[in-house]
Amino acid sequence: MMRTRPLKVALLGCGVVGSEVARIMTTHADDLTARIGAPVELAGVAVRRPDRVREGIAPELVTTDATALVKRGDIDVVVEVIGGIEPARTLITTAFEHGASVVSANKALLAQDGAALHAAADEHGKDLYYEAAVAGAIPLIRPLRESLAGDKINRVMGIVNGTTNFILDKMDSTGAGYQEALDEATALGYAEADPTADVEGFDAAAKAAILAGIAFHTRVRLDDVYREGMTEVTAADFASAKEMGCTIKLLAICERAADGASVTARVHPAMIPLSHPLASVRGAYNAVFVESDAAGQLMFYGPGAGGSPTASAVLGDLVAVCRNRIGGATGPGESAYAALPVSPMGDVVTRYHISLDVADKPGVLAQVATVFAEHGVSIDTVRQSGKDGEASLVVVTHRASDAALTGTVEALRKLDTVRGVASIMRVEGE
């Protein structure tokens, strides 16, 4: 039986995503009503600049007083798409206190204070949903915490930032340098005027923290995630990758240790084989590769940003939360029962590609190999080329810990025959 009283929705933020959420709520109103079992009504929109014309939104719904809006008491669901830490954190907790459930796209806040927000939601018997916080339109959080709830997830590895993937894809396909590819991304609107959050890996690190927490039933904060940007990736790195049958992606990697006793979360550029599904992800698209005991290997692919894709994820959460309200129930909350320790980057074991500038004379390779052996790092392949007294030496290792590799590189720098370390890059996906 259809409920006639509408569920009231407060929208915090009406930028690219918020305006698209409002548009879909209006244009798809009948479908949403049928899917939810009750009408949904946009009851208020909090903005910073009220004088701006917002097509399809009645002026009387617009307010600059977001606090008063979430305190009204008749609001069923608050949709938060303003981003940042404050005032978003206070507004969300205030919404719970006054009887509303929350749908958020705020990755930074969830990565930093997700545990506290979940606790506040639980205290007041309300929902906190955030599908849009990680990979835009790609259904990912719900499959991890619901569809795979009976499985054991061992690894989540993916491309979770469209800007960086666009830049690296351009460097790979055209031979462009980093700055040239960034300039094109900016001109096309893929990169912000200040791209630091994207290219230095902050955006991906926040998403990695959220994914690791859900996948491993462990609280993982942003500070637990190792982060390395991609601004030092060069055309020469791509040339080396191609010689190995690889390409380069900025990856978010969350994995369970082999003994199952700890987890790690990290973001950094890495070479991956062209045969790996993530290697074929082009342009500004996102993709996440999940490995679990029972389901095996799964891949989720699609647009990871933009107004319409992100709004799609927000509306999916809105439908779920509204159904819960009608049924007098709540959906899955935080699952942190495993409480596994988060290991430091030094414990991470992977393969490495190291490019050295060395003197072109007899005995250099033997010296370098000795340093690797002394630090317990096994060499897989070596390639040397050079002339006129200078040479390039490329070493690809077998799997080794980050700490062992760091010690190896420090020792290599002390050799008289090593002029410099041109690049170090991890090799993943094998």
Contacts of 255 (CB under 8 A, 6+ apart): 154, 155, 156, 157, 263, 264
CA pair distance 288, 415, nearest whole angstrom: 41
Cα separation, 157 vs 309, in Å, equals: 21
10 and 77 Cβ atoms separated by less than 8 Å: yes
Structure tokens at 396: 């690809």
Count of Cβ atoms closer than 10 Å to residue 337 Cβ: 7
Rounded CA gap, 270 and 165, in Å? 12
**Nearest alpha-carbon partner for 103 in 347, 373, 323, 356:** 323
From 304, 277, 299, select the one nearest 428 (Cα to Cα). Answer: 277
Half-sphere exposure of 358 (CA within 13 A, CB side): 26
**Distance of alpha carbon 420 from alpha carbon 413, whole angstroms:** 7
* Segment (H or E) for 371: helix 364-374
Short-list 223, 216, 213, 188, CA closest to 305: 188
3-state percent breakdown (helix, strand, coil) of the chain, nearest 5: 40, 25, 35
Can you say how many angstroms the Cα of residue 167 is from the centroid of all Cα atoms in its chain? Answer: 16
User: Looking at the DSSP assignment, which residues form a beta bridge with residue 406?
Assistant: none
Q: In a 3-state reduction of DSSP, which class is residue 154? A: strand
Return the H-helix or E-strand segment holding 384: strand 379-387
Phi, psi of 359 (to 5 degrees): -70, 140
Radius of gyration of the chain (CA): 24
Residues annotated as catalytic are 207
Write out the two tokens for 223.
């500070």
Which residues, in sequence order, are CB contacts of 98 under 8 Å at separation 6+?
A: 70, 71, 72, 73, 75
CA dist 323 and 319 (Å) reads: 6
